[in-house]
Chains A and B, each alone.
Chain A
Amino acid sequence: MSFAWAKQYEPQTALTKWLDEKLPLPRLVYNAVGAGYPVPRNLNYMWNFGVLAGFFLVVQIVTGVVLAMHYAANQAVAFGTVEHIMRNVNYGWMLRYAHANGASFFFIVIYLHIFRGFFYSSYKAPREMIWLLGVVIFLLMMATAFMGYVLPWGQMSFWGAQVITGLFSAIPLVGEPLQVWLLGGFAPDNAALNRFFSLHFLLPFVIAGVVILHIWALHIPGSSNPTGVEVKQESDTVPFHPYYTAKDGFGLGVILILFTAMVFFLPNALGHPDNYIEANPLSTPAHIVPEWYFWPFYAILRAFTGDLSIPFTGIVLIPAKLLGVIAMFGSILLWFILPWLDKSPVRSGHYRPMFRKFFWFGLIPCMIALFICGGAPAEEPYVVISQIATAYYFLHFLVILPIISQIEVPKPLPFSITEAVLGGAAPGGTSGGGKINPEGVVGGLPGTATDGSLQPAE
């Protein structure tokens, strides 16, 4: 499960010795995020976001449990209890703003974590299971965030619930009964609000459980690294503690500055003013948009404006509404097969010239375009832009990635992580690494590779 040179936990005091025999919990922590977990020495700051995501999960659970003490999930009083939290409860305003912005920050760090995975191909063998569990966590997060947004029972809450459960009505035959079953009524009402509250409370703990599986699966092959070359020797690694606890601690400090700046100075910047109007089933807001973190997927949903039909016959194969729903769910579900779409043996984008071009000039602009279109009203030019971007999105994963993984000539890889960090001059066996900046120069060290062949992981 770990490398042979991993440090072993040695209880020092009588108490920890006693505990280690009965329930070796400190040993588990030591091996998971302590000195007992050897980690590649060259991780850059993109490797901070897993720990930061875990931090924001804890923030959401703590603030959420506290908010639930003051909130009532009843359609008659829900909106009022949120205002009660804002005005009457001690520090209620701060806890609620921390929870609302905490969701946004959770998604910010998760998106950076996912894009780290895209660029450095963290999904490739032997780490497919970590990636699959990560996609499950992301889907659970989306469900949790959606249901949480319904709870204040404002206009956006209500109409968001209506539109998102309406997605299920697109399914042939069972769609409409399914929507009625999900809502417990013919429109969002008390039954829907109450069950969303129950599930919004439950799902974070399910996420925490899958996170434990995610970390467990990570500790079998160990962390990936920016070169994509697997760990070969002790000098390639440093212990997680203190090296990465310190580095993650620094990253945490930076993100907390940004987070507190949002909570205290721009608490509503990421929300919608319409959600401070109580839900009204008879009036739809003029411009319904989901929260910003759903915009790219919402743009894909809205990109399908025409039915898929047999030309000149008028026979509709798939109606536009169902096409949009399939594409929106498909855009995330296709991440489940990503490890088998990208067959290139080279992991890191630094050594893949064609992949890197399509990543920076294809996927990233495409995601930005989808993001902007998802937040914009359903009118031109946004509809056409979102159609082009949606087409590229699917093309990128289903066609471009498999093709470039076949035809691309990768750059020569360094022999080892140590060589990539220290340059070709370093002997293979230096231990520790405390004096050397673990940042190092990871990519594009011209001429450092001893030969051009791809080094298999050992």
Chain B
Amino acid sequence: MATNTAATTEVSAAEEGVRRRDWIHIAALGTAGVGGASLLFPLVSQMAPSADVLAASTTEVDVGAIQPGQSIKASFRKQPLFVKRLTAEEIAKAKADDGASMRDPAKLADRTKAGHEDVLVTMGVCTHLGCVPLGAAEGENKGEFGGYFCPCHGSHYDVAGRIRKGPAPLNLQVPEYEFTSDTVIRVG
């Protein structure tokens, strides 16, 4: 009787502690867990931009025909791209404002290419929630700073596409681009 009780105690104590079989449980659940979790990767990754979307990531734009004060809308990665040729007054105004208090301080010179200071290339995507700002076409509202104005939530950009008033947090993005000749730029 006494030995019997002792044996029972020993077994229950052994069950509470570490057992040889625990290793099998941990290994099996661990393998299944890692396997299951790794299945998530393709399920998440498939939602990212596909190869054809990524492939359409450079665009060439001829900027030669744009007159001073004029803008054109092109399309880059299916998003609007603004190319504007600044007038002498606009350049002077933008340079005068370089030191003004801004939410996202930037100089005009940093937003254009050397030798082409009059060509301003920006995305036509408001940095607030992605609307297309007005001001690139003739007769559109250019906002209080003479550049672009987003009608959705009232963001005002200046002639250099810098955010001056309204909810947008950043300046209109200047995409990566280069002049492939004097009149053609390649964006992307």
A283 to B53, CA, bound (A): 21
Interface contact B78-A163, CB-CB below 8 Å: no
Interface contact B168-A321, CB-CB below 8 Å: yes
A180 to B44, CA, bound (A): 13
Interface contact A180-B129, CB-CB below 8 Å: no
CB contacts (< 8 Å) of A458 on chain B: these are: none
In the complex, per-residue mask of B68-87: 1 if CB is within 8 Å of any chain A CB, else 0 = 00000101011110000000
In the complex, per-residue mask of B165-188: 1 if CB is within 8 Å of any chain A CB, else 0 = 011110000000000000000000
- Interface membership of A379, Cβ < 8 A: yes
- Interface membership of B49, Cβ < 8 A: yes
* Sample of 6 A–B contacts (CB below 8 Å): A162-B131, A163-B130, A185-B49, A186-B53, A189-B78, A286-B151
Within 21-66 of B, Cβ neighbours of A (below 8 Å) are at: 44, 47-50, 53
Interface contact A324-B131, CB-CB below 8 Å: no
- Interface membership of B107, Cβ < 8 A: no
CB contacts (< 8 Å) of A187 on chain B: these are: 77-79, 125, 130
- Interface membership of A84, Cβ < 8 A: no
Interface contact A305-B130, CB-CB below 8 Å: no
Closest CB-CB distance, A147 to chain B, in whole Å? 14
Closest CB-CB distance, B124 to chain A, in whole Å? 7
Interface contact A166-B130, CB-CB below 8 Å: yes
CB contacts (< 8 Å) of A185 on chain B: these are: 49, 53, 77-78
Closest CB-CB distance, B177 to chain A, in whole Å? 15
Q: B136: nearest residue on chain A (CB-CB)?
A: A282
- Interface membership of A284, Cβ < 8 A: yes
Q: B153: nearest residue on chain A (CB-CB)?
A: A378
Interface residues on A, range: 20 to 34
Interface contact A321-B53, CB-CB below 8 Å: no
User: Using a CB–CB distance below 8 Å, which chain B residues touch chain A?
Assistant: 44, 47-50, 53, 73, 75, 77-80, 103, 124-125, 128-133, 150-154, 166-169
Q: A322: nearest residue on chain B (CB-CB)?
A: B169
- Interface membership of A304, Cβ < 8 A: yes
Interface contact B79-A163, CB-CB below 8 Å: no
Interface contact A282-B129, CB-CB below 8 Å: no
With A184-B53, A281-B80 already in contact, the answer to whether A163 and B131 are too (CB < 8 A) is yes
Within 287-317 of A, Cβ neighbours of B (below 8 Å) are at: 287-288, 302, 304-305, 307
Q: Which 5 A-B pairs have the closest CB atoms?
A: A166-B129, A166-B130, A284-B132, A186-B77, A284-B131
With A163-B129, A185-B78, A378-B153 already in contact, the answer to whether A321 and B47 are too (CB < 8 A) is no
CB contacts (< 8 Å) of B128 on chain A: these are: 166, 321
CB contacts (< 8 Å) of A302 on chain B: these are: 153, 167
Closest CB-CB distance, B98 to chain A, in whole Å? 17
Partner of A189, one of B53, B153, B154: B53
A379 to B53, CA, bound (A): 37
- Interface membership of A319, Cβ < 8 A: yes
- Interface membership of A167, Cβ < 8 A: yes
- Interface membership of A240, Cβ < 8 A: no
CB contacts (< 8 Å) of A189 on chain B: these are: 53, 78
A324 to B125, CA, bound (A): 19
- Interface membership of A389, Cβ < 8 A: no
A187 to B123, CA, bound (A): 12
Interface contact A191-B49, CB-CB below 8 Å: yes
A166 to B169, CA, bound (A): 13
With A180-B48, A186-B49, A187-B78 already in contact, the answer to whether A305 and B166 are too (CB < 8 A) is yes
Closest CB-CB distance, B18 to chain A, in whole Å? 39
Interface contact A288-B131, CB-CB below 8 Å: yes
Q: A325: nearest residue on chain B (CB-CB)?
A: B129
CB contacts (< 8 Å) of B133 on chain A: these are: 284
- Using A186-B49, A284-B133, A378-B154 as known contacts, list a sample of 18 further A-B pairs with CB atoms less than 8 Å apart, ordered by residue number in A: A163-B131, A165-B130, A184-B50, A186-B78, A187-B78, A281-B80, A282-B75, A284-B150, A288-B151, A288-B152, A302-B167, A305-B166, A319-B169, A320-B167, A321-B167, A321-B168, A324-B167, A378-B152
Interface contact A191-B50, CB-CB below 8 Å: yes
CB contacts (< 8 Å) of B77 on chain A: these are: 185-187
- Interface membership of A149, Cβ < 8 A: no
Closest CB-CB distance, A332 to chain B, in whole Å? 19
- Interface membership of A195, Cβ < 8 A: yes
Closest CB-CB distance, B162 to chain A, in whole Å? 16
A185 to B125, CA, bound (A): 14
Closest CB-CB distance, A227 to chain B, in whole Å? 46
Partner of A283, one of B125, B130, B132, B166: B132
CB contacts (< 8 Å) of B150 on chain A: these are: 284
A396 to B84, CA, bound (A): 49
- Interface membership of A182, Cβ < 8 A: yes
- Interface membership of A360, Cβ < 8 A: no
